[in-house]
């Protein structure tokens, strides 16, 4: 077994797993489970990539404070990387995102600055920019930083190609979030596996790519305003209220062969089904991506191989609608089971 010098060496090389109980019988459905990263999400990759690139370029100096706007997973990944490397971290985050995310970041030593929910993702991005400018902090700018896409070209894409060596990958399905995974993986697949169809999905209530409205930007590539097609949705981190520059780049480069929208209910249902029937514990955004993969499977040719990206773990969603039907106390059925033997009886 390999011994790593530190926790950062465990990032990446996440497994590709075959799905056995969903989809048409004539289709081969696979998932890449990014929850196997040390902090439980695909964003561990970008956190390490951005920080190490900034160290090499001199943009990040020893001991300098790092600041980023995040729905949680990037902040958690950055908190891990900054803790190991010794950088203070300040995260800005809309107060509407799940409380377990902010507690995880604080547990890892980061400071979490909450921004008003009505300002959505654009508000937390603006706050991070203001703090960076005022205090001279290093802003990681995950939504437009090319290091985000580059790390996926170096790691995620080769992992996918290696997994499907000798086996044609017909469809790759992903959400876009920051756009880093989409841009970084898609450009490699277009070159190395040109027959792979790239399917991009987004929330039905926040169809920004399908809305056909050009995103206005500041000179630095950051969003100038909230996108008018955005409505709140439970797929945290899957789509902010603007089209990230990295996602825009990928779409402009014709990296997406098809764009699908996913209903909230479908994302929630697929996340629960993966847990309860495949034993795969992932979040709502992963459920949304898997729902899109199932839609692709319905019309895919016989024998097609489909890979869906599953971005994070279900533990990020304990306080969200994903777990609203899961009780901490015993149900009546569980009480009946408990009462069927004499030990440890509970009063009714």
Catalytic residue numbers, as ranges: 43, 285
Residue 173: which H helix or E strand, with range?
strand 171-174
Q: What CA–CA distances, in Å, run from 116 to 121, 126, 227, 327, 330?
A: 10, 12, 17, 30, 36
SS (H, E, C) 73-96: HHHHHHHHHHHHHCCCEEEEEECC
For residue 222, the SS3 value is coil
Helix H segments across the chain?
43-57, 73-85, 99-107, 120-135, 146-151, 157-163, 180-192, 208-211, 245-252, 264-273, 284-299, 332-339
For the beta sheet containing 89-94, the strands, ordered from the edge strand earlier in sequence to the opposite edge, are 111-115, 89-94, 66-69, 138-139
Alpha carbons 60 and 18: distance in angstroms, whole number: 41
Chain-centre distance of CA 286, in angstroms? Answer: 8
Phi-psi region of 108 (alpha: psi -120 to 50; beta: other; left: phi over 0): alpha
Q: What CA–CA distances, in Å, run from 173 to 8, 233, 260, 342?
A: 27, 20, 10, 51
The answer to whether the beta carbons of residues 331 and 346 sit under 8 Å apart is no
């Amino acid at each position: 077994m390999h011994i790593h010098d530190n926790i950062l060496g465990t990032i990446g090389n996440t497994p590709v797993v075959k799905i056995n109980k969903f989809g048409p019988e004539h289709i081969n459905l696979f998932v890449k489970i990014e929850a196997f990263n040390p902090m439980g999400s695909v964003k561990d990759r970008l956190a390490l990539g951005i920080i190490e690139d900034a160290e090499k370029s001199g943009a990040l100096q020893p001991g300098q404070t790092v600041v980023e706007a995040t729905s949680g997973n990037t902040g958690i990944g950055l908190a891990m990387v900054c803790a190991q490397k010794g950088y203070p971290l300040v995260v800005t985050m809309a107060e509407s995102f799940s409380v377990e995310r902010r507690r995880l970041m604080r547990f890892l030593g980061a400071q979490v600055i909450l921004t008003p929910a009505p300002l959505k993702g654009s508000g937390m991005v603006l706050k991070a920019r203001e703090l960076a400018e005022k205090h001279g902090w290093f802003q990681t700018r995950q939504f437009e930083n090319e290091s985000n896409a580059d790390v996926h070209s170096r790691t995620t894409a080769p992992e996918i190609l290696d997994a499907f060596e000798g086996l044609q990958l017909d469809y790759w399905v992903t959400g876009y979030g920051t756009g880093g995974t989409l841009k970084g993986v898609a450009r490699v697949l277009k070159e190395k596996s040109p027959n792979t169809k790239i399917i991009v999905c987004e929330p039905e209530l926040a169809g920004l790519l399908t809305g056909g409205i050009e995103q206005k930007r500041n000179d630095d590539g950051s969003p100038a305003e909230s996108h008018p097609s955005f409505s709140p949705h439970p797929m945290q981190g899957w789509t902010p209220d603007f089209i990230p520059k990295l996602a825009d780049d990928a779409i402009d480069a014709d990296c997406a062969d098809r764009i699908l929208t996913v209903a909230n209910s479908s994302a929630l249902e697929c996340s629960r089904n993966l847990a309860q029937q495949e034993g795969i514990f992932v979040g709502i955004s992963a459920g949304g991506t898997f729902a899109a993969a199932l839609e692709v499977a319905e019309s895919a040719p016989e024998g097609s191989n489909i890979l869906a990206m599953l971005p994070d773990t279900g533990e990020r969603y304990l306080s969200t609608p994903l777990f609203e039907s899961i009780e901490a106390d015993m149900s009546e059925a569980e009480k009946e089971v408990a009462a069927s033997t004499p030990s440890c009886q509970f009063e009714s």
